[in-house]
């Protein structure tokens, strides 16, 4: 009996489990144009409401993976990566990839652009003059082999079904489906030919998953499906109730990453997430016998300057300046207006509406609400205060980097609303909320 898209959609609409054959048929049809956008939207909505069991999630992930090319690597070390579900001030990739490379891993990191209130790694790298964020396949392979890491954008040949289905989900209100999120993330990672993956699942006011229960469900799905599909994967649930770094934007986050790698800046929250993710990657790649040993290796790679050296090599190999580490201020754009804002009374930062901080960056021109929106790489926020920090005349809540006075005024008003100041310092809390590995997934 011939398979029909409408019958598969009806079956899922009514709550039945789909077979592997049905899922592969639908995704192949989507890739080749035999399944219409309307049918794909109906399928996404049916999955949104009815969900998918584990077998269906694995089949959907593998079908989307095989919709395009799957990279094969022949390298003298493990091919590793991490993926973050998105946040504010999350510039970890720029530090993590070169640090893991300095430890002997190979990191072909395929990243995305920002959308909504979260920043995108590619937008940050595009603020480096000359950096080619979407090179040809041969260049991508060569830089990964010779440097140990290459951070680029998704090519049209990797998981094309995901690109088409995501565009449909984005305009039909079906993005927040754990089965669809799982397949979207993992299909690209499996297509990249990885041997180990660490998921950074954000939770809090600045994350897409605002509750711990949501984040746990997503992390469990990702870890379980990835391992079933043959990709060793673990996950860390990390706090996003405050910006991860004290900088949010594009050029300002590149400057922050350079300062971190060269030892000029050391913020405990950012450092903890970076070294813990790297430790997991080294453990999965069998470079380290345990996450604890992986942490020691990561700390040494950063402290010695070897990670900074790899970052500089990667930037130069992908068309950027050869001295970005030594003279980043020469190349990174600066906004004409810089304005410090202070709390209207002394005290301590009790909480931060992190989503509002991210939206303030977007309103400055540093993010986008539509995929085609242009980015102003120079604007953003620096010296962002976090929970527990003192607030008053000697300690700004943030420094605004703006193109003009009107956008600076709007950002100031948004930031004042985002911060809650109290007389007492709030209790400190850890940034790593939970670790999830295959045996606990």
Residue 368 exposed, middle or buried by CB count within 10 Å (0-12, 13-18, 19+): middle
Interacting residues of 34 by C-beta distance below 8 A, sequence separation 6+: 5, 28
81 is catalytic: yes
Closest CA to 378 of 417, 340, 329, 416: 329
Catalytic residue among 163, 164, 189, 269: 189
d(CA 306, CA 325): 12
67 is catalytic: no
Catalytic residue among 31, 85, 91, 121: 121
12 is catalytic: no
Catalytic residue among 65, 84, 111, 238: 84
Cβ neighbours around 264 below 10 Å, total:
10
Catalytic residue among 12, 117, 169, 202: 169
Length of the chain: 441
123 is catalytic: no
Q: Which residues of 184-209 are buried (b: 16+ CB within 10 A; e: fewer)?
A: bbbbbbbbbbbbbbbbbbbbbbbbbb
Catalytic residue among 31, 81, 124, 224: 81
Q: What region does 261 belong to: left with phi over 0, alpha with psi -120 to 50, or beta?
A: alpha
82 is catalytic: yes
Catalytic residue among 12, 164, 188, 355: 188
d(CA 49, CA 64): 21
188 is catalytic: yes
169 is catalytic: yes
220 is catalytic: no
Catalytic residue among 82, 202, 276, 297: 82
Question: Interior CA angle at 47 toward 44 and 50, to 5°?
Answer: 150
Positions marked active-site? 81-84, 121, 169, 184, 188-189
């Amino acid at each position: 009996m011939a398979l029909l898209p409408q019958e598969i959609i009806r079956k899922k609409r009514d709550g039945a489990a789909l077979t592997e054959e049905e899922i592969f048929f639908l995704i192949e049809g989507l890739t080749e144009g035999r399944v219409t956008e309307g049918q794909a939207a109906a399928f996404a909505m049916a999955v949104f409401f009815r969900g998918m069991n584990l077998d269906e999630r694995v089949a959907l992930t593998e079908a989307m993976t095989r919709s395009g090319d799957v990279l094969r690597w022949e390298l003298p070390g493990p091919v590793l990566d991490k993926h973050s579900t998105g946040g504010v001030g999350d510039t970890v990739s720029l530090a993590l990839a070169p640090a893991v490379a300095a430890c002997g891993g190979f990191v072909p990191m395929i990243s995305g652009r920002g959308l909504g209130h979260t920043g995108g790694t590619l937008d940050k790298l595009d603020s480096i003059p000359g950096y080619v964020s979407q090179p040809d396949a041969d260049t991508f392979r060569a830089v990964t082999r010779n440097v140990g890491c290459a951070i680029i954008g998704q090519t049209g040949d990797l998981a094309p079904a995901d690109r088409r289905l995501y565009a449909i989900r984005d305009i039909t209100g079906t993005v927040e489906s754990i089965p669809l999120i799982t397949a979207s993330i993992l299909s690209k990672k499996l297509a990249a030919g990885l041997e180990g993956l660490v998921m950074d699942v954000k939770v809090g006011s600045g994350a897409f998953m605002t509750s711990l229960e949501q984040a746990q469900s997503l992390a469990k799905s990702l870890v379980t499906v990835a391992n079933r599909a043959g990709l060793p994967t673990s996950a860390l649930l990390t706090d996003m109730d405050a910006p991860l770094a004290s900088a949010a934007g594009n050029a300002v986050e590149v400057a922050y990453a350079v300062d971190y790698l060269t030892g000029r800046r050391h913020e405990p929250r950012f450092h903890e997430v970076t070294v813990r993710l790297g430790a997991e990657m080294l453990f999965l790649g069998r470079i380290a016998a345990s996450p604890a040993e992986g942490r020691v290796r990561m700390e040494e790679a950063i402290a010695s300057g070897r990670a900074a050296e790899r970052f500089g090599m990667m930037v130069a190999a992908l068309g950027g300046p050869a001295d970005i580490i030594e003279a980043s201020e020469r190349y990174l754009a600066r906004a004409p207006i810089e304005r410090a804002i202070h709390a209207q009374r002394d005290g301590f930062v009790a909480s931060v509406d992190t989503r509002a901080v991210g939206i303030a960056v977007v309103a400055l021109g540093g993010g986008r609400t539509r995929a085609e929106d242009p980015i102003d790489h120079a604007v953003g926020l620096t010296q962002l205060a976090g929970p527990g920090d003192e607030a008053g005349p000697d300690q700004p809540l943030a420094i605004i980097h703006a193109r003009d006075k009107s956008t600076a005024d709007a950002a100031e008003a948004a930031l004042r609303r985002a911060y809650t100041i109290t007389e007492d310092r709030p209790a400190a809390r850890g940034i790593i909320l939970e670790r999830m590995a295959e045996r606990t997934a």
